[in-house]
Structure 1
């Protein structure tokens, strides 16, 4: 496995873990009203369906990003997502309602994952660079980590806020690369070849500084 391929897989796993940290809370909230004997079924069914739907949506997003200017627009939107990661307060997670039947709990898990996972889908599609196998591999590796280990990940994030900044930096890097992959601006980038390195760097610095300023101003 070459270094570039390995780095892409690691970036996708990192994105999945950072943006999917709330999944365990969603699952817990969705299943909290179920009898104990049905909770495991709801977790397995809900998570399994959510994985299938997310893989399908990410593959669709990979192809959509091939449309002219969508790499540029997607990159700019991903910058916004990275900024939100640093400044959001997580209220959306607490609005998840628990189901009273197996079907309701599974439906809640899948729908909540769809709504909350849009940023994840876009980021993974951008990081994959059109390689569907990377999308599937990254999700299959990271989803079990998220489902069974995200409570630990969330505790680490609360204890070590630097992890959030690292995650936002990964998203900003992906956004910068998406922008440089936009075919319609390639003539400009080829004229100034250093832009391939400067644009991702600028996106990282911008996101981290903007998030830091926002957080300090609201304290």
Structure 2
């Protein structure tokens, strides 16, 4: 991961990444403004205030427009950065694979299975998931700290009695939300952990299958000459 971000492409890559981060922060800010808009809008409906109601409709229209523009441009820049990163890594790995007959020694010693699949697909998965997970984590943390004060304000304290003692839990909805998030994350990790090995085996089997089909295309003359269709089908 690191070589790309310190390579000759670092200035372009970092400028795109910083722009994406700023767009993510802007998207969260728009979400906070829309959250506040809901309160004013429904208060206007409850109070039958037509002037405020009309103003809030116009306000929502430009907030929604700004949010859509930010979201589209963020997706565009993220995909551009991912494609640029993948292209750079693919070029470097193909160069290493072909240098000093590495492709020959790897195949003869069976050091790595399906290196072509790893270069073609695994680099795509690496770049795509690295960006999505990193930017998703950043956006989630900013959203958490942005909305936690709002949730704390509207939830208020919760009082309950236990063993003849009265306890007060301030901002109880915040604590319930955090508990829900932690338990959900642990449950997802427990369920998803076995899937890592299954996904690895799935990729390996699919790569072997594609290699077998390509081998039939490359050796079509010999297979047709010796009537080896049944043997190839059984293999």
Same fold judged by TM-score > 0.5? no
Q: Which has the higher contact order (CA 8 A, sep 6+)?
A: 1
More strand by share: 2
Structure having the higher Rg: 2
TM-score by length of 2: 0.27
